[in-house]
Amino acid sequence: MNLDKRDRYVLIGLTSIAIFFSILFYLDLNRKIDIGDREVVGTIFFKNNIVQRKFEDEVIWEKLENNSPLINKDTIRSEAYSDAIIRLKDGTEINIDENSMFNLDLTGEEPNLEFSEGSLEVKKNDSKTNQIKITSSGSEINVNSGNVKIERVKDQELSLFVEKGKTTVKQNGKSVDVEQGKKAEFKKTGIEIKKIPIILTSPSSQKLFYAEPNEANVSFQWKIEQGFESPVLEISRSPNFQLIYFSETITGNQTSVSLKEGTFYWRVKVKNQNTQVVETSETNKFFVSKMESFVGESPNNGTVISYVQIYPLVTISWSKLSTANLYQFYLSDTNQFQKPLKRIETVANQISFDDLNEGTYYWKVIAKSSFAETKDRETKVYSFSIKKQNSIPSPKWQRPNPGTEISGEEIKLNQAILIWEGNAEIQSYNVKIAKDSKLSNPIASIETTSNFLVPNWKQLGHGHFFASITGKTKDGKETEPSNILSFSIVDQKKKTEVTSPTEENKTIPPSEPKLEILSPNGTVVQMKGKSSLDFHWKLSGIVADRFDLVLYQHFPDKKIAIYKVSTKDSLYLLKDLSLLDEGSFSWDLSVYKNSNFVISRKGNFILALDQLKSLKPTDIEFISPKRLYKEKR
């Protein structure tokens, strides 16, 4: 069919409109919703898989991260094999199982939780006098104190188990008290209250076990009232026990089962000796998790941090634990910590100081567990020293290695970079490049405020070159020149060339695991127009259980761990670009097999964020915190 000119314009216009609104829909669907001035009422501290929330005035569901703030009138839902622990400001704890949904409304004197489906456990803070009201399809549960568990499967009635304390339930205008150890079932004919003849004693609900190394030996105990017999222990991966992981008749009231990593639910069934009716206990949930490494990351133990006039900014970081909701940081001038200089609680896994005098310092971190009856984790004691010097040391080259050949292909791919160690007291650097080793007749003299440089390689041409760096302070004082770096620019590298051995390119026998960092590595990454920073690597020789990736940002006098993630894939896309800024970065990749460390490699790169260069101070608004504080000793 042939279209005339006017019809073609109409078709092109309609297609453009469709594409435009499709893009708008995609951006709206994937945007990160801002909290703004909404009231924060609690925090979600631990989760597996996916837990989402929807604001009262939004239609988009947003994925929640660990330690995400919860807003009043949020609607929360969890997907399959998910679990989460929510702590409200008044101390109330809500444990969410998979496929659950509820709305949280804390407006006024009577907090309300509108429960739709799934299963929840609510632990009321007994020190608070106000009730928590749970509503569901016309039924009402008023939790005065203690712990309650509620469950509602699709197309089934609501059920309640009072584990501790006292609860009042209402239906069709009738009110009934439910005491500890009793179960209430909301049926069309009314509320049915009955006593459960089995009490689960161990493991308690929300208990965490560590697999050492691959399995945890979990002990189960319960109590049975007289007149009941033949206890059957059931363990499942889901709260509705659709798929039974373990089911066995037990002689006595206790047994042990070895379990691998995962979330588990357990219950006990018993038979009435007279009526032969089978009764079922409440359901408790517990976790089996591998022991995560908990160590200090930066600065390295025994590091000496030098300064001349300005106290250095010391950033201390440690590994992040998914099972922790708070970290207690201790800094002392002795390794006994009898009178710590600083004791700070934080949810972050790093902290910075710019007021530390000359001397030796010791530090450690205690991770407070999110799980009751689980011991807190503690790092070993680390030390670093701050030393005052009379003069600023000369810069030191980091790359390229002396004698390196830089090819035209590397220049084309932005992989040819000059990088050196920086210093916070140096305001600018002068880089000289010459054909002679004494640099008596430099062909390039470049000023920069960064600790890296991408020269105009085409202007230099091919040949052998020498380079040196001199730092300059704010008051104009210059450092001693660095060591002279020699390198060559060639059209193509020789195939027989053997580069200097480093930690990243050691020769590994074919029989051993080999890890290759693909990208970003030794390159300038232009982030303009990109929605993610993509990490790629290649592993051969083994099949890994997981990869741990730690991203560091480099500053003149330090490097800071800004992101850590574990993945089972051979690539990772970092989509939260708010973590990034222009400058030098490195990343460590560690391989684990059967929970054991196997091998690690490092990559280095430089980020160029062209879109940030056009920002004016008036374009930036501080959303949180509204007030900034500096701690004083």
Q: Residue 163, exposed/middle/buried by CB under 10 A (0-12, 13-18, 19+)?
A: buried
* Mean pLDDT calculated for residue range 400-426: 82
Helix residue ranges per DSSP H, 35-92: none
- Sequential DSSP letters for 497-517: --PPP-TTS----TTS-EEEE
Cα 134 to Cα 100, 122, 149, 199: the distances in Å are: 14, 10, 11, 24
What's the confidence (pLDDT) of residue 23? 57
| pLDDT at 496 > cutoff 60 | no
Distance CA 209, CA 218 (A): 8
Backbone CA torsion sign across 207, 211, 212, 216: positive
Where does the pLDDT of residue 420 fall: very low under 50, low under 70, confident under 90, or very high at 90 and above? confident
| pLDDT at 125 > cutoff 80 | no
Question: Which helix (DSSP H) or strand (DSSP E) does residue 581 occupy?
Answer: none
Percent of the chain topping pLDDT 70: 82
The shares of helix, strand and coil residues in the chain, as percent rounded to the nearest 5, are: 5, 50, 40
Backbone angles phi, psi at 414, to 5 degrees: 60, 30
Beta-strand pair 244-249/314-318: unpaired
Nearest CA-CA partner of 298 in 198, 202, 379, 201: 379
Where does the pLDDT of residue 240 fall: very low under 50, low under 70, confident under 90, or very high at 90 and above? confident
Distance CA 417, CA 522 (A): 7
| pLDDT at 345 > cutoff 60 | yes
* Mean pLDDT calculated for residue range 152-173: 78
| pLDDT at 73 > cutoff 90 | no
Where does the pLDDT of residue 37 fall: very low under 50, low under 70, confident under 90, or very high at 90 and above? low
What's the confidence (pLDDT) of residue 362? 96
- Long-range pairs for 504-507: beta carbons < 8 A, 24 or more residues apart: 504/601, 504/602, 504/603
Are 48 and 261 within 8 A, CB to CB? Answer: no
| Token pair belonging to 125 | 């803070």
| One-letter amino acid of 142 | N
* Mean pLDDT calculated for residue range 370-397: 88
What's the confidence (pLDDT) of residue 361? 96
What's the confidence (pLDDT) of residue 10? 65
Cα 175 to Cα 123, 124, 142, 166: the distances in Å are: 22, 20, 10, 13
Which range is most confident: 146-160, 177-191, 214-228, 573-587? 214-228
Q: Residue 336, exposed/middle/buried by CB under 10 A (0-12, 13-18, 19+)?
A: exposed
| One-letter amino acid of 73 | K
| Token pair belonging to 443 | 């062909």
| Token pair belonging to 331 | 């800094």
Nearest CA-CA partner of 539 in 560, 517, 565, 511: 517
Distance CA 465, CA 281 (A): 79
Where does the pLDDT of residue 500 fall: very low under 50, low under 70, confident under 90, or very high at 90 and above? very low
* Mean pLDDT calculated for residue range 194-210: 87
Strand partners, 160: 150, 184
Question: Greatest CA span in the chain, whole angstroms?
Answer: 105
* Mean pLDDT calculated for residue range 438-447: 90
* Mean pLDDT calculated for residue range 315-337: 89
| pLDDT at 625 > cutoff 50 | no
| pLDDT at 42 > cutoff 90 | no
Cα 485 to Cα 344, 399, 470: the distances in Å are: 44, 9, 13
Are 527 and 571 within 8 A, CB to CB? Answer: no
Backbone angles phi, psi at 411, to 5 degrees: -65, -40
177-191 burial, b if ≥16 CB within 10 A, otherwise e?
Answer: ebeeeebbebeeeeb
What's the confidence (pLDDT) of residue 22? 61
| pLDDT at 327 > cutoff 90 | yes
Q: What is the pLDDT of residues 452-494, one digit of tens each?
A: 888 888 888 899 999 999 999 888 888 889 999 999 999 887 7
Least confident of 6-15, 138-147, 207-216, 575-584: 6-15
- Sequential DSSP letters for 595-615: TEEEEEEEEEEEEE-GGGGG-
| Token pair belonging to 586 | 């490195």
| pLDDT at 365 > cutoff 50 | yes
Distance CA 188, CA 179 (A): 22
Structure-model confidence comparison of residues 285 and 54, the more confident one: 285
Q: What is the pLDDT of residues 583-601, one digit of tens each?
A: 888 888 888 877 667 788 8
- Distance, first Cα to last Cα, the chain: 82
Are 526 and 608 within 8 A, CB to CB? Answer: yes
Are 437 and 457 within 8 A, CB to CB? Answer: no
Where does the pLDDT of residue 632 fall: very low under 50, low under 70, confident under 90, or very high at 90 and above? very low
Distance CA 304, CA 26 (A): 50
Least confident of 130-144, 258-272, 299-313, 461-475: 130-144
* Mean pLDDT calculated for residue range 271-277: 89
Least confident of 112-116, 263-267, 330-334: 112-116
Strands across the sheet with 546-555, in order? 523-526, 596-608, 583-593, 546-555, 558-567
Strands across the sheet with 404-407, in order? 404-407, 485-490, 463-473, 426-434, 444-448
Distance CA 72, CA 585 (A): 39
| Token pair belonging to 402 | 């002396």
| Token pair belonging to 592 | 């684990």
CB atoms within 10 A of CB 225: 12
- Residue given tokens 């080259």 in the structure block: 397
Percent of the chain topping pLDDT 90: 18
* Mean pLDDT calculated for residue range 539-561: 80
In 556-608, the DSSP E strands lie at 558-567, 571-574, 583-593, 596-608
| pLDDT at 177 > cutoff 80 | yes
Structure-model confidence comparison of residues 32 and 571, the more confident one: 571
Where does the pLDDT of residue 605 fall: very low under 50, low under 70, confident under 90, or very high at 90 and above? confident
Can you give the pTM of this predicted structure? 0.61
Average pLDDT over the chain reads 80
